[in-house]
Structure 1
Amino acid sequence: MVPLQFTFVPHVDRRAREGNVQDGEKVVPYRHWTKYNTFYGLVITTALASTLLAADFFEWRATGYFFRVANNFPGTVALIVQLLAAFFGLIHVTVLCRLVNYALRLRLRTASVTLDMLRTWVDLSIPRVDWDLPLRFFFPVLFVVFLSLVPAALWAGSTTPLISRTTTTGTVLLPSYQDVSMIREYPIEIGETGPSLRNQKGFFTYSVGVQSIGNLLSSAASASSVGTRPSVHPKFDNTQFSYVGRSYGVGAPVGLTDLLITSNNQAAGYVYQETGYLCNVTCIYNRTSDFHLAPTVDEWIFEASGNLPDSLDSPEVSSYIGHDSKAIVAIGVAHSELSPRRYLAITAGDSYAFLNSTQCTLDFSPTLFNVTVDLSNSNITVSPGQPAPDFNPQRNLTRTVVRQFELMSNDLTNLYVSLLGDAFNSSIAAYNMSRASVSRDPCTEAEATIAGLTNSITAMADDMLVAYASAQLMLASQSTSASATVYVYALQFGQRGYIYSIFIFNGLVILLVMAEALRTRGWKELGRFNYLDPRDLVIAGSRGGSEMARMADQWHGRRMKRFWLLSDPDEGNGGLKVRVRDGDAEGNVAIVVAGEEDGERALSSSPSDYRKPPRVPISL
């Protein structure tokens, strides 16, 4: 009976079958694509890693459609990212496994290995965890398998879209002061107030000191923040924006004339520059002040009169109502149109004696301010910049602002109380609490009064400047366009640490491939036998003859493992050493038991009756 003959047909170039014979083995060369196809996958990973690195360096961001999709379907995006990360990680792992595979296949041509070692190399080449390995092999394999998960994890961290910001340009309309004819003092009389407008965006008026009293009182009372955090106070309109810290009299266009920016749903905020007045307030006690309260012929009418440092032509005179002078807080401001109007003089009755004889100086310096608008939190942050040319040389704006203090003090005094004095008192009390929270050194009543009063006057002056700027925009339509840097929500792919890590890792893999290619001269001696292919193993084992089976039977039960992990007991033949025998004319190889002629014994403790039979080549 003729035995069956098996023939293994490799994917090789048949024209190269007659290659050179070295050491008795026929080396059948691979086609280029068959040998190197796995390494070409590094072109994909290198291109992507380089793109991610460039995107991080140049801060490329994805906006528009891609941002909306990622924001609306985060689960789907996460799934796609995981699949892509697994694919790119698979390329790296496959390349490394191919290097391991090629290295052992070259080594098998000249050295023998035990079956346990062969299993270990198989597990490293896949990679996988073989729970039946001896512990000295199991833990290294487990570690390598764990490391094989790292490339996919790095790719996930490098490609996951994150919410970031990018910049673009926008336009905002700033208040213009070319025409300031409506910025002036209006009498506190019914029907004599200045122009005003009420719409969905808020209430806007040129009689700020009269028709915005409620907002100004709130600013005065909360001017001194409690604690170390800056105060947050709302803007005088319905835009729902708030200032963090001082407004410095700018920021009026926010929410009013920035529609070209806020209409972009992806806009996160913007920054622009606006010229305004930096108001520096200095308050002192002036015990020699000429401004005093005095009764009149009418027992319910009291007169606050006297000269101020900047009074011209005549003394300042204003009337206040009250049962007596105890509840009166009167503020004097120069009334002359020629006066620079830089001073406030306060005289008060016994109920507000701590405010009596105080005096404040207001210096308005034209300054270019940086305005930062956070659209997501509806916050405005203003910081002073460099000095700027005076945009209102006639100083209609500043003189009118200072005069509002006299109007408010008169309007906010009734028979029983001064609302303005109570607001100042609230600011003073808040300053005392703030001082106590940051310092153990107590301050005197005079120090607290001066500090709280300074904060209130500063806050009110800033807010009045914003109110007049808003009136210029909404009532007088006096505006000028200015550019703004707009921060737009966008997608950033990956975090910097992961991007740099995967780029370096990809580079190391490339260097490793190049080093192996140089060391092995492009794997020139690589045979076609692949221990990962069960067809090759079966055929090569059958070529080794029956001696392999006989030796395995002799090893059975003699080299039993004493300990195994989560598996069935070992059959005891893992220590059997084998080697690959030289191929025939067609490049076929045989797996045989390693013998003494190879300079080593097949068994470290062989049976006494062991006798190595001669090796007879078997051709299938």
Structure 2
Amino acid sequence: MVRPIAAYFALLGLVVSTIFSLLALVANVRGWHSSEQFAVTVTNERATIAIIIQVISHSLGLLQICALCAIVSLSFQQHASSSPFSLNALRLMNSAFSLRFDWNLPWYFLLPLGLFISFSLVPAAIWSGTLTPTVVPNNITVPFSIPEISTVVLDENKLFGDLSSGDDGGCPWISGQTVDNKTQIGTFHTCLSRLSLLGSASSSSSIQDIPGREEDKAHVHAKIDRSGFSFIGRSYSAGAAVGLADMPEIMTPLAYTYAETGFYADVQCIFNTSSAYRLEKFDTTDNIVEVYNAIGKGTFPEGLNANWGTKANNNESDVAYQAHHFGYLAVDIFDWASAYNNNRTSYFAMAAVADACDGADINTCGYGFAKLHQMQCTVDFTARNFSVYVDAVGRTITVTPHETVEWPSYTDALLEELSAEHSQIGSNDGAFGGSQLGRALLSNMEILQAYRNESTPSNETKLQSVSDFVADLMDNTLISYSQSRFFGSRGKGLERRVVDANVARNVVVYGEKKFIVAAACINFLILVVFFVEAIRTRFWGHLCNLDLLDMASVAVGGSYGGTKLAAQVQNMGSSTILLPGSRPSARDFTGAVMVRLKNINGAMSAIEPADRPGTNFEERELLTKRSLSAESIFRRSNNTAADVETSKVI
């Protein structure tokens, strides 16, 4: 007969499934992924993507099952062309091809049928897991701009204006702005930013839950710009460009890391009862306000002077090393100043009006500034490499210090400038109603005191809180200075350099590895079955001229066989089949009948009973029992009829 073309088309479906299987396998092995734009599409169109994947996966699964059904049916029909087969076997093939249960089959046929139908559900499910797009983070290296400080020269880039002309009002002024000139994110003005610096430092000893890692705790504090990011732990002067520098290649970064060189400020504070830095009362004719001068000339360790920008102004008079403070009461007044020794160390000295409490408890007297009197902090700097990790989703920054590096040539001039910055925070501090600098220091002390559950702060708590305060202030000042250079300051151009940032962003990968491997294995198994059967049957070259899976062909083939099959059944007890009460057993009995195909005219085959009752032992036993039972019933029926006739004669 002509080979069933439809079956061969079903086999061609294996080509499609094989292509998909190979593509998925190669994509997984080589780490192929989509663009970030497609990841956004998948995230926004989840329902649509799910429908498309289900349609494709079920189509591929259908192609594989159709191919497997075609292989089985072709092999069965080739077997039927030369060997007898039972009608139960024909039922099994038809049920398997149509993927339905036939409960009239014996259990030993139902078992493989059930397994085959169950297996038919597997390929589509596996393909769904293979093709489902999964949004995963993927790392890529992109250029990232960070600040670069090339030189710091006091004469060329003064922090202070000319006091006599009123330029800058005596305030340090470091300014810069974004490239689009819309928002001055990078502006740093000590006078205007003082509250931001003090606000951050006033809670530098606090401990909070880390966003996204509630089981961990650390000091989490906002980055003092308009980026909306927060640092976990200290910033160590690194991370200035985070939230301000663009990544044109990345739409929505999840996280990124990069390396940056900065300064590690190690702060140690003590009470120095021999400290010469002090506040001296200045007698005035006005009794309404108290006036005190901070004496800064030679009162620091190493004989250093308090740095209020006197070098920049070339003013070496004693008055230049004094800061004037006004308050309604002596307890309102507090001051600190800073000095840099030009050898990687800065000093902070603090002073309150020592005798303002007149022997009262310094913890409760006035605003409590006396607790800070004669405290002295040493800040030792080292230049280091830092790794900056940015969680762009949680908007947090974690800075980790690493190895030390060579001391940059500009650093001494920079730290000299910053010591003046920090001194100005105290000298410009208003004392009416209590020094704001002193209040900020005590606020942080109270946070640490509460965390340690102390009724009154211990000396260790006092020193640690001030150490945290100074470290936070130093870190934020260095970051702000870096930002001012990043955006350009005082007419200088943008000072930036490009580093490599390892950025994680969302991409799409197709399926999980276990499903991809499973799909490849199933497809390979079906291919093996196909080639084995094709070789064994010589590519199904001896099929009969009758399609046993086509009801019309079977009906015609049965008619060509004439009444032989019906006579065979009748000879084995056809009267039993017609009894209503025995229909289930009659169907079993019919399925056990063995038939064969006989070529009639080269164009059609007839279905005839086989020469022997069956090749299966159970089928032969069933046929024998049914035949004997039918013969017994037939004899009893004849005897009953004879008795009736005899009684009528009598």
**TM, length-normalised to structure 1:** 0.77
Aligned with 1:396 (options 405, 413, 423): 413
The equivalent residue for 2:86 is 113
CA spacing shift, 1:392–1:497, aligned 2, 3 Å: farther
The equivalent residue for 1:535 is 552
Q: Secondary structure at the match of 1:581?
A: strand
CA spacing shift, 1:52–1:482, aligned 2, 3 Å: same
What CA distance in whole angstroms lies between the structure 2 residues aligned with 1:384 and 1:557?
94
The equivalent residue for 1:606 is 627
CA spacing shift, 1:73–1:110, aligned 2, 3 Å: same
The equivalent residue for 1:573 is 587
What CA distance in whole angstroms lies between the structure 1 residues aligned with 2:203 and 2:558?
91
Aligned with 1:472 (options 485, 488, 499): 485
Aligned with 2:122 (options 134, 137, 150): 150
Structure 1, unaligned stretches of length 5 or more? 1-9, 13-29, 562-568, 612-620
Question: What displacement does 1:482 show?
Answer: 0.7
Aligned with 1:220 (options 178, 201, 209): 201
Give % identity: 25
Q: Secondary structure at the match of 1:583?
A: strand
Q: Secondary structure at the match of 1:364?
A: strand
CA spacing shift, 1:330–1:38, aligned 2, 3 Å: same
Question: What displacement does 1:342 show?
Answer: 1.9
CA spacing shift, 1:598–1:383, aligned 2, 3 Å: same
Q: Is 2:13 the counterpart of 1:41? A: yes
Letter aligned with residue 73 of structure 2: N
Aligned with 2:290 (options 279, 296, 300): 300
What CA distance in whole angstroms lies between the structure 2 residues aligned with 1:347 and 1:79?
73
What CA distance in whole angstroms lies between the structure 2 residues aligned with 1:500 and 1:246?
47
Aligned with 1:239 (options 222, 227, 230): 227
Alpha-carbon deviations, 1:458-512, whole Å to 9, x = none? 2221111111011112223332331444545433222333223322332333334
Task: Report 1:533-572 matches (<5 A).
Answer: 533-549=550-566, 551=569, 554=575, 556=577, 572=586
The equivalent residue for 1:250 is 238
What CA distance in whole angstroms lies between the structure 1 residues aligned with 2:496 and 2:26?
39
The 8 Å contact of residues 273 and 370 in structure 1, kept in 2 or not, is answered as yes
The equivalent residue for 1:191 is 169
The 8 Å contact of residues 197 and 204 in structure 1, kept in 2 or not, is answered as yes
Question: What displacement does 1:178 show?
Answer: 2.0
Question: What displacement does 1:197 show?
Answer: 5.1
The equivalent residue for 2:350 is 346
Letter aligned with residue 408 of structure 1: I
What CA distance in whole angstroms lies between the structure 2 residues aligned with 1:233 and 1:54?
46
The equivalent residue for 2:301 is 309
Question: What displacement does 1:557 show?
Answer: 6.7
CA spacing shift, 1:104–1:473, aligned 2, 3 Å: same
Q: Please say which of residues 315-324 and 277-286 is displaced more in the overlay.
A: 315-324
Q: Please say which of residues 231-240 and 585-594 is displaced more in the overlay.
A: 585-594
CA spacing shift, 1:372–1:555, aligned 2, 3 Å: farther
Structure 2, unaligned stretches of length 5 or more? 210-215, 307-317, 355-361, 363-367, 633-650
The equivalent residue for 1:500 is 517
Question: What displacement does 1:531 show?
Answer: 3.0
What CA distance in whole angstroms lies between the structure 2 residues aligned with 1:158 and 1:458?
53
Question: What displacement does 1:155 show?
Answer: 1.6
Q: Please say which of residues 360-369 and 105-114 is displaced more in the overlay.
A: 105-114
Alpha-carbon deviations, 1:14-57, whole Å to 9, x = none? xxxxxxxxxxxxxxxx8xx8775544433332332222222223
The equivalent residue for 2:71 is 99
Letter aligned with residue 326 of structure 1: V
**TM, length-normalised to structure 2:** 0.74
The 8 Å contact of residues 177 and 392 in structure 1, kept in 2 or not, is answered as no
What CA distance in whole angstroms lies between the structure 1 residues aligned with 2:410 and 2:142?
29
Task: Report 1:159-558 matches (<5 A).
Answer: 159-166=131-138, 170-181=142-153, 185-186=159-160, 191-193=169-171, 194-196=173-175, 200-205=182-187, 207-208=189-190, 210-223=191-204, 224-227=206-209, 228-256=216-244, 258-259=245-246, 261-262=247-248, 265=251, 270-286=256-272, 289-297=275-283, 300-305=290-295, 307-312=299-304, 318-334=323-339, 338=342, 340-348=344-352, 350=362, 351-375=368-392, 378-431=395-448, 445-474=458-487, 475=489, 476-485=492-501, 486-517=503-534, 522-523=539-540, 527=544, 529-549=546-566, 551=569, 554=575, 556=577
Alpha-carbon deviations, 1:231-279, whole Å to 9, x = none? 44333333334434433222223344x34x2585455555433222222
What CA distance in whole angstroms lies between the structure 2 residues aligned with 1:556 and 1:420?
108
> Which structure has the highest helix share of the two?
2
What CA distance in whole angstroms lies between the structure 1 residues aligned with 2:576 and 2:447?
91
The 8 Å contact of residues 352 and 421 in structure 1, kept in 2 or not, is answered as yes
Q: Secondary structure at the match of 2:160?
A: coil
The 8 Å contact of residues 340 and 346 in structure 2, kept in 1 or not, is answered as no
Question: What displacement does 1:179 show?
Answer: 3.4
What CA distance in whole angstroms lies between the structure 2 residues aligned with 1:445 and 1:247?
27
RMSD of aligned C-alpha atoms?
A: 4.1
Letter aligned with residue 480 of structure 1: R
Q: Secondary structure at the match of 2:496?
A: strand
What CA distance in whole angstroms lies between the structure 1 residues aligned with 2:456 and 2:60?
67
The 8 Å contact of residues 310 and 341 in structure 1, kept in 2 or not, is answered as no
What CA distance in whole angstroms lies between the structure 2 residues aligned with 1:584 and 1:558?
35
Q: Is 2:98 the counterpart of 1:126? A: yes
Q: Is 2:7 the counterpart of 1:11? A: no
What CA distance in whole angstroms lies between the structure 1 residues aligned with 2:254 and 2:631?
83
Alpha-carbon deviations, 1:582-618, whole Å to 9, x = none? 433738544445675546253543364459xxxxxxx
Question: What displacement does 1:166 show?
Answer: 4.5
Report the count of equivalent residues: 567
What CA distance in whole angstroms lies between the structure 2 residues aligned with 1:473 and 1:543?
95
The equivalent residue for 2:59 is 87
CA spacing shift, 1:597–1:205, aligned 2, 3 Å: closer
Letter aligned with residue 330 of structure 1: D
CA spacing shift, 1:120–1:154, aligned 2, 3 Å: same
What CA distance in whole angstroms lies between the structure 2 residues aligned with 1:432 and 1:469?
33
The 8 Å contact of residues 339 and 416 in structure 2, kept in 1 or not, is answered as no
The 8 Å contact of residues 179 and 478 in structure 1, kept in 2 or not, is answered as no
Bigger Rg, structure 1 or 2: 2
The equivalent residue for 1:50 is 22
The 8 Å contact of residues 368 and 385 in structure 1, kept in 2 or not, is answered as yes
Letter aligned with residue 573 of structure 1: R
What CA distance in whole angstroms lies between the structure 2 residues aligned with 1:479 and 1:427?
35
What CA distance in whole angstroms lies between the structure 2 residues aligned with 1:330 and 1:487?
47
Letter aligned with residue 82 of structure 1: Q
CA spacing shift, 1:419–1:355, aligned 2, 3 Å: same
CA spacing shift, 1:63–1:169, aligned 2, 3 Å: same
Q: Secondary structure at the match of 1:382?
A: strand
Letter aligned with residue 458 of structure 2: E
